[in-house]
Amino acid sequence: MSGVLAAQGDAHRPSDVLSTLKRLGFGAVVSVPDGWLGKILVRIEHEPSMRLVRATHEEEALAIACGLRLGGVRTALLVQNAGVLSMGAGMVSLAQRYQFPLLMLVSYRGTPDDPVFYHVPKGRVTEPVFRGVGLSYACVDRHRPIGPQVEHAATFAEEASSPFALLLSREDIQW
């Protein structure tokens, strides 16, 4: 753990992500898991105020999230960056076209500090593809508390009436 994080009192960043979602009134999470997301999804599943929907494909997850929001439930997507690469058509033709504000919490695999080598092909194209499909995004600053960054991402999605992706590193999201 870095000295900066230690100076923050060893904050458990995945706990802060979950407590922020609860505080902001997120009633549902739709997800296709990866190795980093697995445990926080179990926590969400046991939250009385939240509903977890496990989808089979990320584009399907995106559409489920749009339906939840259409019906009045504030909804977050938890997916790997590979999943965002494979949801491009739904992103532009449904989520952006109909202006659904969705918070996307995305595990950012394939960065230089990801030890799993086969994620690299996805990591190197993630941000160019996000820009290409017009998906607004930010990378989490691991030296600042995670809760406010999640809140700002959620606020951006609402004010822009569109999905917003927050790219997370392992310590942000792996419980």
Residues at the interface with another protein (CB under 8 A): 24-25, 28, 30, 51, 53-57, 59-75, 89-90, 93-94, 97-101, 151-152, 154-155, 158-159
Residue 162 DSSP one-character state:
S
Q: Which of 110, 98, 99, 100 is nearest to 77 (CA)?
A: 100
Nearest-angstrom CA–CA distance, 153 and 137: 8
Nearer Cβ to another protein (14/101) = 101
Nearer Cβ to another protein (5/41) = 41
In the complex, the smallest distance separating the C-beta of residue 113 from another protein, rounded to whole angstroms, is 29
Residue 68: which region, alpha, beta or left (left: phi > 0; alpha: psi -120 to 50)? Answer: alpha
Element (H, E) at 17: helix 13-23
In the complex, the smallest distance separating the C-beta of residue 85 from another protein, rounded to whole angstroms, is 17
Nearer Cβ to another protein (83/110) = 83
In the complex, the smallest distance separating the C-beta of residue 164 from another protein, rounded to whole angstroms, is 12
Q: Which two tokens mark 143?
A: 């030296």
In the complex, the smallest distance separating the C-beta of residue 114 from another protein, rounded to whole angstroms, is 27
